[in-house]
């Protein structure tokens, strides 16, 4: 991938000139820990008796006057990594790969520090400090910029390390704990602290090569997380956080404190379904079909989807329905469509499901699993589809004593990721939450679903004939009879009828509100009248808040994009997919349809119907639970009194 308009090149010669310094850091240096506690002997084990360890090194940063904290012991990462294979005197290919990756990552980080120093004015201040001519009024700025450079270098080193080693990782996982020795006095001290702590982690966990690589990757992830967290409150980071650099030789793009990942697809083993194999569920199927094509409009150079800019992109949706109505089939259909489109276009595609297996008894681990799931799907270098099946079992309901700590961790991560302050919707991915019991999902999390897919399964006589014929297969001689197979599953006709059905509410509670408001003010044909209807809904259900209005207006914008991108655009990528961003945006705008009163009313009713349905079910479940509890109490009291009489 070549440079884009918002990227600067990190030149190869600027990286390679730091190889000697990187080799020196890997060979040996001294460090006295300030924050973390030593957990192992600091020096690497000797290879054989009588052979001393490597000489001590003490690197300095040009422009800084520092005090030595050297000790006789040193950090020797080359020795440490060579010792990860049980004492084999020859270096293995995997060890060489790890060391080359570490050296490359260190050189990239040092080159980035140099770029930041030049761009921010830190280089001039370093020269003044070295000459003893730093003005007193510049000392605070100097200190702030040193901290900013240290955080940038730390994150880039960890980011590049994780990126370069990712293709070589296996299934082995290591829990390395938090990165503690992140010192931000200056960039050189930062690298000393991190590499010292990495040496400690390797000594604890890397008894074999697979563990060595897993430890390197896990520690790099911890450093990235810690550096990004510190950067949220650190000043003078704009020169790094607001820019992007490209390392062409490694296919690595550095965008501030965003983790870089290899744009690789996941291997899908699921059984894909074709649209005609999803019987019923017309609106859900229609929206899934359109959303699959919407994702393909994503522009990898601009890192934005025209649908996300114009409105009408569905970032999160919730599919709910009774057991056996086709939620899994809908997932298989949508994943199959996106997978096929991506194969035609040559785009990397990732699908992942967050399941109950991700709930962990270890404190904090469930949240980490959920965050890893989110990060895998939102990677801007891929097209992503993430599903959370049976979300009522996976994410805990706040205030519910039945919810475990792990479930509540997952709820917190999903809420922050789907509509948090830092959520960025680029239009390259979508998340679907599915449940048989949506009333058991936390209200705030459920309302973060921008669209609702009612998965109601087959409804008509034609639907039931179609599903029977589909599931019977072809290994029989029973005649079909007078029936046009799958004609009822034609999307356009079925969807038009389904949307028309929402011209009036379908839930009894909402229908009462609708009729009352219409009797008072007449047809809902103006913004003011529709706003009056929304207020009446809120008075009937206090959970109908401003977020509900946003979800409704987003759904209306989706209806304004009430068209399917032509199949030909998916089959011949040069017609649309490979066009530049502005051309794709113009082509989409030409297809957009005007928003009508009927659209708005139907979307208000669709969304409000779902909320009333959830509320009614939730209340009914609570009442049934109380009735059972009262019955138990009465039975217990009766048995107690009978036993007392005896």
Q: What is the dihedral of CA 88, 93, 94, 99, to 10 degrees?
A: 90
Q: How far is CA 176 from CA 40, 44, 199, 542, 643, in A?
A: 14, 19, 12, 46, 58
Based on the domain organization, do 293 and 205 belong to the same domain?
A: no
Answer whether 575's CB lies under 8 Å from 551's CB.
no
Based on the domain organization, do 53 and 131 belong to the same domain?
A: yes
**What is the distance between the alpha carbons of residues 495 and 516, in angstroms, rounded to a whole number?**
28
**What is the distance between the alpha carbons of residues 559 and 132, in angstroms, rounded to a whole number?**
66
| pLDDT value of residue 163 | 92
Q: How far is CA 62 from CA 13, 126, 401, in A?
A: 20, 7, 58
DSSP structure class, residue 60? -
**What is the distance between the alpha carbons of residues 155 and 179, in angstroms, rounded to a whole number?**
12
Based on the domain organization, do 375 and 237 belong to the same domain?
A: no
Instruction: Confirm whether 632 is domain-assigned.
Output: no
Based on the domain organization, do 488 and 608 belong to the same domain?
A: yes
* Residues facing 260 on adjacent strands: none
| pLDDT value of residue 259 | 86
Q: Which domain holds residue 414?
A: 275-622
Instruction: Confirm whether 640 is domain-assigned.
Output: no
Structure confidence by residue, pLDDT tens digits, 422-434: 788 999 999 999 9
Q: What is the CATH number of the domain that holds 473?
A: 3.40.50.300
**Model confidence pTM above 0.85:** no
Based on the domain organization, do 217 and 106 belong to the same domain?
A: yes
Structure confidence by residue, pLDDT tens digits, 44-89: 444 444 344 443 344 444 444 443 333 446 899 999 999 888 777 8
Structure confidence by residue, pLDDT tens digits, 16-48: 999 999 999 999 999 999 998 887 544 444 444
Instruction: Confirm whether 592 is domain-assigned.
Output: yes
| pLDDT value of residue 12 | 95
| pLDDT value of residue 2 | 52
- Domain count of the fold of the chain: 2
Based on the domain organization, do 177 and 241 belong to the same domain?
A: yes
The distance in angstroms from the start CA to the end CA of the chain is 86
- Closest by alpha carbon to 386, among 397, 394, 375? 375
Q: What is the dihedral of CA 405, 408, 409, 413, to 10 degrees?
A: 180
Based on the domain organization, do 440 and 500 belong to the same domain?
A: yes
Based on the domain organization, do 229 and 345 belong to the same domain?
A: no
Instruction: Confirm whether 629 is domain-assigned.
Output: no
Based on the domain organization, do 227 and 325 belong to the same domain?
A: no
Based on the domain organization, do 226 and 326 belong to the same domain?
A: no
Instruction: Confirm whether 320 is domain-assigned.
Output: yes
Answer whether 459's CB lies under 8 Å from 352's CB.
no
**What is the distance between the alpha carbons of residues 69 and 29, in angstroms, rounded to a whole number?**
11
**What is the distance between the alpha carbons of residues 343 and 357, in angstroms, rounded to a whole number?**
30
How confident is the chain (646 residues) per 10-residue block, as mean pLDDT? 69 95 94 85 43 41 42 78 82 92 96 94 93 92 95 96 89 87 95 95 90 93 93 92 89 88 65 75 82 92 89 86 82 91 91 87 84 89 91 85 87 89 88 87 85 78 84 85 76 63 83 92 92 91 83 81 80 91 91 87 86 65 72 82 73
Kindly state the tokens that stand for 318. 């919730």
Instruction: Confirm whether 645 is domain-assigned.
Output: no
**What is the distance between the alpha carbons of residues 67 and 275, in angstroms, rounded to a whole number?**
70
SS3 label, residue 318: strand
SS (HEC) of 331-366 = HHHHHHHHHHHHHHHCCCEEEEECCHHHCCCCCCHH
Instruction: Confirm whether 365 is domain-assigned.
Output: yes
Based on the domain organization, do 310 and 251 belong to the same domain?
A: no
Kindly state the tokens that stand for 555. 């759904």
Instruction: Confirm whether 183 is domain-assigned.
Output: yes
Instruction: Enumerate residues 6+ apart whose C-beta is below 8 A from 399.
Output: none
Answer whether 366's CB lies under 8 Å from 358's CB.
yes
Handedness of CA 564, 568, 569, 575 (dihedral sign): negative
Based on the domain organization, do 466 and 418 belong to the same domain?
A: yes
């Amino acid at each position: 991938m070549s440079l884009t308009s918002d990227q600067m090149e990190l030149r190869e010669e600027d990286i390679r000139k730091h190889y000697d310094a990187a080799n020196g850091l890997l060979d040996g240096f001294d460090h006295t820990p300030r924050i973390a506690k030593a957990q192992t002997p600091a020096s690497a084990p000797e290879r054989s008796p009588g052979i001393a360890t490597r000489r001590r090194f003490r690197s300095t940063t040009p422009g800084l006057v520092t005090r030595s904290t050297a000790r006789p012991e040193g950090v020797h990462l080359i020795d440490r990594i060579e010792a990860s294979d049980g004492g084999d005197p020859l270096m293995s290919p995997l060890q060489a790969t790890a060391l080359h990756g570490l050296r490359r990552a260190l050189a990239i980080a040092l080159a980035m520090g140099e770029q930041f120093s030049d761009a921010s004015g830190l280089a001039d201040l370093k020269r003044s400090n070295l000459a003893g001519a730093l003005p007193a009024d510049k000392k605070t700025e100097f200190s702030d910029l040193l901290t900013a450079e240290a955080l940038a270098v730390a994150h880039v080193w960890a980011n590049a390390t994780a990126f370069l080693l990712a293709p070589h990782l296996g299934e082995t996982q290591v829990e390395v704990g938090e990165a503690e020795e992140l010192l931000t006095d200056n960039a050189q001290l930062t690298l000393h602290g991190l590499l010292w702590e990495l040496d400690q982690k390797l000594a604890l966990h890397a008894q074999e090569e697979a563990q060595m690589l897993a430890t390197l990757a896990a520690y790099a992830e911890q450093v990235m997380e810690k550096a990004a967290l510190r950067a949220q409150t650190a000043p003078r980071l704009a020169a790094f956080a607001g820019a992007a650099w490209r390392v062409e030789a490694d296919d690595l793009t550095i965008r501030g404190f965003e983790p870089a990942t290899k744009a690789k697809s996941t291997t899908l083993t699921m059984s894909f379904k074709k649209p005609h194999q999803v019987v019923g569920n017309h609106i859900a199927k229609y929206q899934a079909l359109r959303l699959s094509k919407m994702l393909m409009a994503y522009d990898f150079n601009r890192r934005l989807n025209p649908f996300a800019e114009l409105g009408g992109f569905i970032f999160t949706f919730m599919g709910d329905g009774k057991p056996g109505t086709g939620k899994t089939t809908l997932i298989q259909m949508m994943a199959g469509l996106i997978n096929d489109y991506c194969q035609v276009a040559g785009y990397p595609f990732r699908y992942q499901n967050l399941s109950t297996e991700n709930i962990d008894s270890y404190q904090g681990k469930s949240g980490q699993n959920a965050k890893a799931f989110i990060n895998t799907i939102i990677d801007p270098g891929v097209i992503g589809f993430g599903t959370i099946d049976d979300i009522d079992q996976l994410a805990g309901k706040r205030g519910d004593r039945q919810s475990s700590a792990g479930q509540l961790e997952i709820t917190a991560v999903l809420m922050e990721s789907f509509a948090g302050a830092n959520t960025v919707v680029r239009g390259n991915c979508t998340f679907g939450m599915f449940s048989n019991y949506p009333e058991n999902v936390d209200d705030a999390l459920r309302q973060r679903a921008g669209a609702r897919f009612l998965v109601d399964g087959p409804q008509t006589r034609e639907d039931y004939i179609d599903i029977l014929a589909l599931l019977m297969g072809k290994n029989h001689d029973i005649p079909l009879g007078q029936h046009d197979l799958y004609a009822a599953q034609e999307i356009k006709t079925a969807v038009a009828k389904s949307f028309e059905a929402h011209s009036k509410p379908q839930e009894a509670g909402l229908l009462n509100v609708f009729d009352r408001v219409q009797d008072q003010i007449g047809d809902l044909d103006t913004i003011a009248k529709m706003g009056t209807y929304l207020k009446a809904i809120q008075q009937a259900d206090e959970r109908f808040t401003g977020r509900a209005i946003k979800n409704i207006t987003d759904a209306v914008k989706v209806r304004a994009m009430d068209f399917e991108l032509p199949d030909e655009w998916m089959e011949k990528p040069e017609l649309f997919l490979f066009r530049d961003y502005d051309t794709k945006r113009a082509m989409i705008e030409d297809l957009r349809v005007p928003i009508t009163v009927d659209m708005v009313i139907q979307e208000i009713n669709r969304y409000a119907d779902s909320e009333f349905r959830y509320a009614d079910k939730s209340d009914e479940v609570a009442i049934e639970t109380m009735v059972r509890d009262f019955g138990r109490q009465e039975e217990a009291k009766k048995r107690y009194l009978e036993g007392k009489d005896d």
